[in-house]
Amino acid sequence: MHGLPLLRTVSICILSVLSLVASAKEVPAPAEYVDSDGPYVFRNGDTLLARWICDDKVYAYKLLETPTTLPAECGYPHALALQPPAAVTTSTLPAVPRIVAVSDIHGQYELLRKLLRANKVIDTQDRWMRGGDTLVIAGDVFDRGPQVTEAFWLLYSLQRQAAEAGGAVHFVLGNHETMVLYDDLRYVNPKYLRSAQLLGRSYPQLYGADSVIGQWLRTRPVLLRIGDTLFLHGGISPEALQLALDPASTNAAYQASLGTPKAEVKADPATAPLYDGKTSPIWYRGYFDGRLDTAGVQSVLDQLGLQRIVVGHTSMQHVSSFHGGRVIAIDSSIKNGENGELLFIEDGKVSRGLLDGSRVALADGVVAADD
């Protein structure tokens, strides 16, 4: 009889080890060679240290203080106007006449650039050209594709350029931002694991709080309300409604927890709702999989005083309207590197911008049947 509990304990231990091994195998092996990547820029007091990977070798130099201009070496192709540490983004903003939105870039910088150029968001030199308009990116620049670094620097640069023109660029955190920062590297492109090796840091440490982009990420929101439209990555579930009723506190909680180990944020009752894989704002898919019907969506909108919710995260072929326009899905599968679309909201009217620059009506989304 004494052998059965021991056998059960041994079995549990073996399963735990196998689980850990399986999880370890899910992280890709580093690439053998990195042609170009960077810059990664770190703060040390008033000094900035910029580092690139050029032909699989590290190139670095120091700059003093900010603002300053960092010339292009390899990786991101433009000089960068580096700014002082970013301020925390406001959670609720007044309505604006024109909004452009996109999500789930996943390292597809070239496709993003082509899409923004075709729709006259940026010019041929990748400079902001929408004047006082607003651009919203609903999360997930990290993972999968080979040009994550370039995509982040493009958005960072456009934010300053738009502000100078009287417009705005807002980056909303997605689940892949939180995953990389808490060291879940299952979807990281192998290129970046090689870059991390060469730079002598773990991949999450390349985006630590001492880095320019890492500090910028730690001041971005998860929930961004502009007028009567809420932008976020996953969605607001009925279970997480309270999080959306106080977006400033919710955003602050996310920002404070970024980079905390995955097991810790999921075990802490204060942060577990933020990272729940089924119901949290960065993971929810209930608008599309049959969990929430149109009446349920309307109830969420009514309680939040919204007209619509705009989300990424759930991949579609097109920017699509669900639940009679109450939910707009803008993850147009840019991650595949083949096609992508933008959402336009202009004086309350919605349309989608295509890769050839044309403008058409939103696609009609179909909600999956509830099993």
Which of these, 226, 41, 33, 66, lies nearest to 146 by C-alpha position?
33
Is 56 a member of any domain? no
Is 93 a member of any domain? yes
Q: Measured between alpha carbons, how far is 128 from 30 in angstroms, rounded to an integer?
A: 35
Is 155 a member of any domain? yes
Opening angle at CA 334, ends 328 and 339, nearest 5: 100
The tokens describing 21, both together, are 């091994």
For the chain, helix (H) and strand (E) counts, in that order, are 11, 18
Is 71 a member of any domain? no
Mean residue pLDDT of the chain comes to 93
Which of these, 97, 363, 136, 111, lies nearest to 230 by C-alpha position?
136
The CATH number covering residue 133 comes to 3.60.21.10
Residues in the chain: 371
User: 339: how many CB neighbours lie within 10 A of its CB?
Assistant: 14
Q: 137: part of which helix (H) or strand (E)? A: strand 134-137
The domain in which residue 232 lies consists of: 84-364
Which of these, 190, 155, 189, 187, lies nearest to 171 by C-alpha position?
155
The tokens describing 141, both together, are 């620049």
CB-CB contact of 221 with 184 (8 Å): no
Is 52 a member of any domain? no
- Name the E strands within the chain: 36-44, 47-54, 57-64, 68-70, 80-82, 92-93, 98-102, 134-137, 168-171, 224-226, 229-232, 308-311, 320-322, 327-329, 342-346, 349-353, 359-360, 363-364
Question: 57: helix, coil or strand?
Answer: strand
Letter for the amino acid at 115? Answer: L
Question: 342: helix, coil or strand?
Answer: strand
Q: 101: part of which helix (H) or strand (E)? A: strand 98-102
Q: Measured between alpha carbons, how far is 35 from 127 in angstroms, rounded to an integer?
A: 25
Q: Is residue 275 left, alpha or beta, with left meaning phi > 0 and alpha meaning psi from -120 to 50?
A: alpha
What pLDDT, on a 0 to 100 scale, did the predictor assign at position 369? 58
Is 228 a member of any domain? yes
Q: Measured between alpha carbons, how far is 82 from 347 in angstroms, rounded to an integer?
A: 34
What pLDDT, on a 0 to 100 scale, did the predictor assign at position 11? 34
Which of these, 89, 59, 58, 29, lies nearest to 252 by C-alpha position?
89
Q: How many domains does the chain have?
A: 1
Is 30 a member of any domain? no
Is 295 a member of any domain? yes
Which residue ranges in the chain fall short of pLDDT 50? Answer: 1-25, 370-371
